Amino acid sequence: MSTPRRRFLQHIASGSAAFLTTRIASGQAAPSRDITSPMPDPQEMQAAQRGGLYASLKDPLATQLPPDAFAQRFTYSPAPHADNQGRWTNALPLPLPRSEMAWAAAEGNRMHVIGGYGAGQVARAYHHVFDASRGEWLNAAPIPRGANHLGVAAADGVVYAFGGFVEQNRIAVPDCYAYVVTEDRWHVIHPLSRGSRGAISVVAGNGLIHAIGGRDTRSVDWHEAYDPRTDTWRTLAPIPGPRDHTAAVMLSGLLLVAGGRMDTFDFNTGMQVAYDPAADRWDERAPMPTPRSGHGGVVWRGKFFCMGGEGTRRVFGQNEAYNPGTDTWQSYAPMLTPRHGMAAAVLADGIHVAGGGPMNGGAYQSSVHEVFAD
């Protein structure tokens, strides 16, 4: 076992604070980047973005969206409207336009946004952190290997990042990393046991980190779980139907997975399934009203909220929520800026959605940051 992996297992066994104290006392603490350093102010950020909230992957001079981007926007939901629709407001933009990245919320009221497309490249190692209490973006240690479509989850002071693609939505890797928040440092952990893939849904629950679906050259129905205590993987019941680009959360003791695609967004689905960890079994639940993929998914106020996504000549702005108690969906106020492949996490008492593609595919990125709340 490698030394970095052994140190990470020691951290899990002893708790991050105790582990970090031991390493500092022994003189073994590696230099780390100052995560308290804020990003440039809004004026500097606008200059870095060449004057706009949008960027083109291929054209470094483009800062405006083409007309087709607005024609692709679609916000109608067939679901019953919730009595309280909520509302979206604008927040501080990402430091630069990004899309196809991974996200995770960790303790401390912060959202970690990792990897993805940006500044003309598709396998960035970016690691931006939004601190909701301070209302600003911070720098954090970049992930060791840049990639897009990583799967990310956070638990007990650690952010886990699995798989991803190193070319534009292709060439998957099996690499897995664990970022210890108190150290501002990444550790290499055991790679995916079933093989390379990207666009995986990753969810923390019951002491395990679940990795569901994903794609290498084709979508898969694989379901495996990483045990941080032993740095090992276990194979669990496969998800019904191979899928990637899904939204997944842990809610009421069940792992819920909604939407996604089989191979391409031409074959989106609204299918929703629930995994019972105690029985190692999947059961079908009410489908998501708007079939889509590349959407965000979070738990907010006891419901599974899904927003954004993409389809054939469509970028979705629908914001729909599932109530597990009644097995029903309702629609809420749609996103101000429809996007896919964006970061979505709950901070304080609101849903933060940052970055993402404002057109289907990966041609354009955005730094738009919007918050949904009452």
The span from the CA of 239 to the CA of 237, in Å, is 7
pTM of the predicted model as reported, rounded to 2 decimal places: 0.90
Angle, to 10 degrees, between the axis of helix 16-25 and the axis of helix 3-14?
Answer: 120
Shortest CA distance to 16 belongs to which of 141, 119, 154, 143?
Answer: 154
pLDDT value of position 3 = 62
pLDDT at residue 64 in the model: 86
Question: Which phi and psi angles does 277 have, rounded to 5°?
Answer: -60, -35
pLDDT for residue 193: 97
CATH of domain 3-373: 2.120.10.80
Bridge partner list, 298? 305
Concatenated DSSP letters for 233-302? EEE-PPPSS--BS-EEEEETTEEEEE--EESEEEEE---EEEEETTTTEEEEEPPPSS--BS-EEEEETT
Please list the rounded mean pLDDT of every run of 10 residues in the chain (374 residues).
64 50 33 47 43 87 90 97 98 95 89 96 96 95 97 96 97 98 97 97 97 97 98 98 97 98 96 98 98 98 98 97 98 97 95 97 96 97
Q: Domain residues of the chain, as ranges?
A: 3-373
What pLDDT is recorded for position 14?
Answer: 61
Query: What pLDDT score was predicted for residue 44?
Result: 45
Residue 155's region, left for phi above 0, alpha for psi from -120 to 50, else beta, is beta
How much is the pLDDT for 369? 96
Q: Side chain identity at 164, as an amino acid letter?
A: G
Report pLDDT for 61.
87
Reduce the DSSP state of residue 18 to 3 states and report it.
helix
